[in-house]
């Protein structure tokens, strides 16, 4: 595994692979890696000849009151995991090189960026898409891998790729969960043991709603009410949003019919978690 910090070196590494007819796969991450990230790496190994993983905790996707300073970081552990997974390059750009003082350009996907997480984190996706666009230019991948845990993010990146005519294929990878259903997240390590137990209600409630929809419940208000009361049984969990939306437009669904996305963000103590379930409601 080659470790690359220099942006130009990263670009040349990719170009060399491409010149040899190799397909470059790219997995952008913020580190503190877990099985969810590794499932993206496994998918990349299947679909690409050369696999690049980046670790960059992107400062501009955090608002000043959010957890940038406390975001989990564990580079030693990450390197060990990635070595075991036999990736080709680990890209570790420095913040000062990605965001020099005279940096002025932002990339924003309108509309989608203001829904769901964009309501309580209005500048979040602008920060994500700006850095992802830069990483795409530096790594110059043929295929990129994003997790469905961040469903809205992968949808926004798809739109970015389309709108900017990037020759990149996006592969989205299903959510990897803990034994009790909690979606794996780097932030889970910040939960106390009590919060960690309570957090399981998020997936449990989503699953109960899914069963009800599959049994024929169509009324969104009833579904949301039931989800809220289930999650409300854990006082340490505070819902930020809980919505049933169209998985392509993220517009609120009027009925549980066809493909719908149950999407939730909740604070568990001080930690904000997200999760979702994609349901085909016949």
**Residue with Cβ nearer ligand AMP (1 or 57):** 57
Stretch that binds ligand AMP, among 9-17, 83-91, 142-150, 236-244 (CB under 6 A): 142-150
Q: Pick one of 37, 115, 126, 190: the residue that binds ligand AMP (CB under 6 A).
A: 37
Residue 32 and residue 34: Cα distance in Å, rounded?
Answer: 7
Under the criterion CB under 6 A, does residue 183 sit at the interface with ligand AMP? Answer: yes
Pairing of strands 258-268, 237-245: antiparallel
Residue 267 and residue 173: Cα distance in Å, rounded?
Answer: 24
Under the criterion CB under 6 A, does residue 56 sit at the interface with ligand AMP? Answer: no
Residues paired with 194 in a beta bridge = none
Under the criterion CB under 6 A, does residue 29 sit at the interface with ligand AMP? Answer: yes
Burial readout 217-227 (b: 16 or more C-beta within 10 A, e: otherwise) = eeebeebbebb
Give the tokens for residue 36: 């969810």
Under the criterion CB under 6 A, does residue 147 sit at the interface with ligand AMP? Answer: yes
Pairing of strands 2-4, 89-91: parallel
Residue 245 and residue 243: Cα distance in Å, rounded?
Answer: 6
Under the criterion CB under 6 A, does residue 186 sit at the interface with ligand AMP? Answer: yes
Give the tokens for residue 128: 């994500």
Q: Which of 20, 34, 37, 124 is catalytic?
A: 37
Of residues 189 through 218, those in contact with ligand AMP by CB under 6 A are none
Under the criterion CB under 6 A, does residue 40 sit at the interface with ligand AMP? Answer: yes
Under the criterion CB under 6 A, does residue 149 sit at the interface with ligand AMP? Answer: yes
Sign of the dihedral through C-alpha 130, 135, 141, 144: negative
Under the criterion CB under 6 A, does residue 130 sit at the interface with ligand AMP? Answer: no
Active site residue 20: no
The site for ligand AMP (CB under 6 A) is made up of 29-30, 36-37, 39-40, 146-147, 149-150, 173, 175-176, 183-186
Q: Which residues are annotated as catalytic?
A: 37
């Amino acid at each position: 595994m080659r470790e690359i910090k220099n942006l130009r070196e990263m670009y040349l590494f990719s170009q060399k692979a491409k010149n040899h007819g190799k397909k470059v796969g790219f997995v952008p991450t913020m580190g503190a890696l877990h099985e969810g990230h590794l499932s993206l790496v496994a998918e990349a190994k299947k679909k690409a000849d050369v696999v690049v993983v980046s670790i960059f905790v992107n400062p501009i996707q955090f608002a000043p009151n959010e957890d940038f300073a406390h975001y989990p970081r564990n580079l030693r552990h990450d390197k060990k995991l990635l070595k075991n997974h036999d990736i080709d390059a680990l890209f570790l750009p420095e913040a000062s090189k990605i965001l020099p003082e005279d940096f002025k350009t932002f990339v924003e996907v309108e509309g989608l960026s203001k829904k769901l997480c964009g309501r309580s984190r209005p500048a979040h996706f602008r920060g994500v898409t700006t850095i992802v666009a830069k990483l795409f230019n530096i790594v110059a991948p043929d295929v990129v891998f994003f997790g469905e845990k961040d469903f809205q993010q992968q949808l926004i990146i798809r739109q970015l790729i389309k709108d900017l005519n990037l020759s990149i294929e996006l592969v989205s990878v299903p959510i990897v969960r803990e034994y009790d259903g909690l979606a794996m997240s780097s932030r889970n390590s910040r939960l106390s043991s009590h919060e960690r137990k309570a957090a399981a209600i998020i997936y449990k409630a989503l699953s109960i709603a899914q069963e009800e929809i599959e049994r024929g419940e169509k009324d969104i208000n009833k579904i949301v009410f039931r989800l809220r009361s289930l999650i409300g049984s854990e006082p340490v969990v505070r819902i930020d949003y809980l919505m049933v939306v169209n998985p392509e437009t993220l517009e609120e669904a009027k009925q549980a019919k066809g493909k719908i996305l149950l999407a939730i963000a909740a604070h568990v103590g001080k930690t904000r978690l997200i999760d979702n379930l994609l349901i085909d409601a016949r």
